[in-house]
Amino acid sequence: MTVNNRQLDTWTGDFGREYLQRNEDISEADMGPRTEALRPVLAACAEAPRSILEVGANIGRNLLAMTRLSDAELYAVEPFADAYARMTRLLGTRLAQGVNGPGQTLPFADASIDFVFTSGVLIHVAPEDLPAVTAEIVRVSRRYVWCNEYFAKTSERVHYRGGDDLLFKRDFGAWYLDTYPQLRPVAQGFCWSRTTPFDDTTWWLFEKVG
């Protein structure tokens, strides 16, 4: 499968290192509100996930917060080697398996992980790569798919930190529903930047029914 090398080269180079420096807080000031923001998401699952995969996990702060809410086995995919190395150290033995690779090719079997998610990741996937990434997420999920991303009613390319092809807004909930008929909506919400470490993001939780 073809991977957009321009996107990967950007996020796994100096640009990615700068992002890493801006998003490395694991103090209670971050982790406490992050945990509370994730609590209603997991609570909306009729069956508590026994396995959780984050695609684009960066240093693993979301998964670390989930260790406070769940005993599920944790899995992570992260393309940037520097972030991947930090994530494996941060999560330690709680990480059942980590993969240093892109979201377009997930090395997991069909329907093998209960809960698969992205947070602030699909917005950085080029539109031409979005079908491949989300198809892999849906393929690997056994029951739940969650995404937490910037929202726009219509697709937008946003100028982001000096680049024109690094951030893309859209209605990701509608994308999942319109593209994957095996999904049904379970819950949705908003992570306000005043009370959470997320930057005014919208989230959707889906369940696979077919």
pTM: 0.92
pLDDT at 137 over 70: yes
The per-residue pLDDT for range 39-76, each reduced to its tens digit, is 999 999 999 999 999 999 999 999 999 999 999 999 99
**pLDDT above 70 for 6:** no
Q: Which residue has the higher pLDDT, 160 or 172?
A: 172
Of 29-33, 35-39, 117-121, 159-163, the least confident: 159-163
Poorest-pLDDT segment among 66-80, 87-101, 103-117, 155-169: 155-169
How far apart CA 160 and CA 163 sit, in angstroms, is 5
Q: What is the band of 166 on the pLDDT scale with cuts at 50, 70, 90?
A: confident
Q: How far apart are CA 115 and CA 99, in angstroms?
A: 17
